[in-house]
A = this chain, B = another copy of it.
């Protein structure tokens, strides 16, 4: 089903760092990669904080800390924008927040944040999915007016399981097979809860993309913005190279979570923030860090 919502909301309303060409590219593809946001020094500082934070959580038990399936290595830590000074400032980074404001056409807040550390040799695949489907059905996000921002903190190569995206896929809602033809927008999204996108639909998205799959490869420090409905996934990582990143989901202040549109109970706060929402005030991450030390 063709998307009816805009991709860039209220274009031109909010000032920000993204050029007209970058906005066009995001609108066409459903994602945008930026390699000029952070300096090498800033990348080192971010990596250090990420590693320190993971090391500090080792052996801890907490709802927001996800361990590897085998062993007790920390895989992800959620809610870092609330519980960690450095990542609070990074989530509010002027460049990132203003870019998100430009894309979403309003003030923004964080619905979910995490840092990820994926060891080499054993990273598992993530099958194709659109985040908005989960956020709508399970979290009650009304419309696709959110953007994920991944700050990549290790070099990403073709061979260490980089994020893959189908260009233009954000323009289509994929329904599950067997759906009644007259199903409406919300019903079709609810059905997706039951399974993964079917091969026929994925084939169609792939054909429409001119048989292209893009990969988020690049140097540490690269920033990837991708639209909430963009179809993405990743292969496993048998290479020796670990992959780590900081991940923030910015949502429009005008698109706050309601009751879930599916039948399930809302997911917990650490996966989908709905309490005490207020707009992020953009600030400079690294200058303030110097002051805080």
Interface residues of A (CB under 8 A from B): 120-121, 125, 127-128, 157-159, 161, 164, 199, 202-203, 206, 211, 213, 215, 233, 235-241
A215-B158 CB under 8 A given contacts A233-B238, A235-B237, A240-B202:
yes
Q: Classify the interface of chain A: helix, strand, loop or mixed.
A: loop
Question: Does A238 contact B199, Cβ atoms closer than 8 Å?
Answer: no
Of B120, B161, B202, the residue contacting A199 (CB under 8 A) is B120
Tell me the complex Cα distance, A240–B233, Å. 12
Of B202, B211, B236, B240, the residue contacting A206 (CB under 8 A) is B240
How many Å from the CB of A39 to the closest CB on chain B? 23
**How many chain copies?**
2
Question: Does B236 contact A125, Cβ atoms closer than 8 Å?
Answer: yes
Question: Does B203 contact A240, Cβ atoms closer than 8 Å?
Answer: yes
Tell me the complex Cα distance, A239–B128, Å. 9
How many Å from the CB of A161 to the closest CB on chain B? 7
How many Å from the CB of A113 to the closest CB on chain B? 26
How many Å from the CB of A241 to the closest CB on chain B? 8
How many Å from the CB of A171 to the closest CB on chain B? 18
A213-B121 CB under 8 A given contacts A199-B240, A235-B237, A237-B235:
no
Question: Does B235 contact A213, Cβ atoms closer than 8 Å?
Answer: no
Tell me the complex Cα distance, A235–B239, Å. 9
Closest B residue, CB atoms, query A199: B121
Chain B residues in 8 Å Cβ range of A236? 125, 235-236
Chain B residues in 8 Å Cβ range of A241? 211
Of B158, B161, B213, B240, the residue contacting A239 (CB under 8 A) is B213
How many Å from the CB of A195 to the closest CB on chain B? 13
Of B121, B158, B215, the residue contacting A202 (CB under 8 A) is B121
How many Å from the CB of A242 to the closest CB on chain B? 11
Chain B residues in 8 Å Cβ range of A211? 241
Question: Does A235 contact B238, Cβ atoms closer than 8 Å?
Answer: yes
Closest B residue, CB atoms, query A200: B240
Question: Does A161 contact B240, Cβ atoms closer than 8 Å?
Answer: no
